Structure 1
Amino acid sequence: MPNGLLPMDDIEEVGYNRSTGFVWLTQKKPVQHRFEKIGKNVSYDTHVSAFVENRRMKKLHGVKAKEILIWITLNEIYIDDSNTDKITFGTPTGISRTFPVSAFEVEDEKK
């Protein structure tokens, strides 16, 4: 997964259950972030959780993307094995959007 996919601030707790793949992150307050390369706003709640597998986050909670004037809940994020240059975001209604993985990568600061 791209290193800039979850740009959360003031993280208070991070947890990972290896046997189930359950991951959770807790931050002090909700954060909104704009991914400039694709022109999308995303909201991260104070508690974000998901079940993580190889190139996939499912049963995602606490993340919403803005489409036109409404916020849409995201429940799945994955990179298809056949095309690792694209990342897909799914909603509970079955609608999905695909974007370049590069739009969610953050270059490391060189020291």
Structure 2
Amino acid sequence: MTSQLIATHRDNAEVFAGDASLCKLKSRELLSEINLPKGLLPLDDVVEVGYNRSTGFVWVRQRKPKVHRFPAISRSVSYDAEVTAFVGDRRMKRLTGVKSKELLFWVTISDIYVNPNDPGKIAFANTTGLSRSFPVSAFEEEEEAEEEEEEVASRTDG
């Protein structure tokens, strides 16, 4: 299903493939461009990133699915080998390939957005319309979060 969707939007898309470090960099740049935290897609072994600006469709392919734990919110998130979404400013909608573990169940995430009225919170919604919000800072890249903590510590020490 997602492969068909990718094929439909491949024409006129910017596609980066092959080099895993380049693909990971491009996925971070995309998140930055749409004003979402760069650590939101902590994927490894990324083999392809595509962005069709005219339709807003993006996709990321990795060699195998990955489960990542976000320690700041104590949540595990599962990323399929193919993750797709339609993007806009501070938003990913009609998301596929992402699930969050809630208690004992994996819940499919269909929308991710930063509320313009509260830019410090990011919300994750499922197809039933239920959503849960967390601090945006929980999804910054781990290196950035560590640098910010060190900067705060140096200001309080001096």
Partner residue in 1 for 2:111: 76
Say which SS state the counterpart of residue 41 (structure 2) adopts. coil
Greater RCO (CA < 8 Å, at least 6 residues apart): 1
**How far is the alpha carbon of 1:24 from its aligned partner?**
0.2
- Structure 2: how far apart are the matches of 1:74 and 1:28? 21
The runs of 5 or more residues in structure 1 that have no matched partner are none
Q: Give the equivalent residue in structure 2 for 1:54.
A: 89
C-alpha distance in 2 between matches for 1:65 and 1:87: 14
- Counterpart-to-counterpart distance in 2, 1:77 and 1:69: 22
What do residues 79-102 of structure 1 show as CA deviations (whole Å, max 9, x unaligned)?
011110000000001110000000
Tell me, yes or no, if structure 1 residue 16 matches structure 2 residue 51. yes
Tell me the TM-score normalised to structure 2 length: 0.68
Alignment correspondent of 2:74: 39
Superposed CA deviations along residues 12-58 of structure 1, whole A, max 9, x for unmatched, are: 10000010100000000000000000000000000000000000000
What one-letter code is carried by the residue in structure 2 that aligns with 1:81?
A: P
- Identical residues among aligned pairs (%): 59
User: CA–CA distance in 1 between the matches of 2:75 and 2:122?
Assistant: 14
Higher helix share: 2
Alpha-carbon separation, structure 2, partners of 1:81 and 1:38: 21
Larger Rg: 1 or 2? Answer: 2
Query: How many residue pairs align between the two structures?
Result: 110
Matches within 5 A, 1:94-109: 94-106=129-141, 107-108=143-144
The structure with the greater share of residues assigned to strand is: 1
CA–CA distance in 1 between the matches of 2:89 and 2:55?
13
Q: Which runs of 4+ in 1 moved over 4 A?
A: none
Normalization by structure 1: what TM-score? 0.96
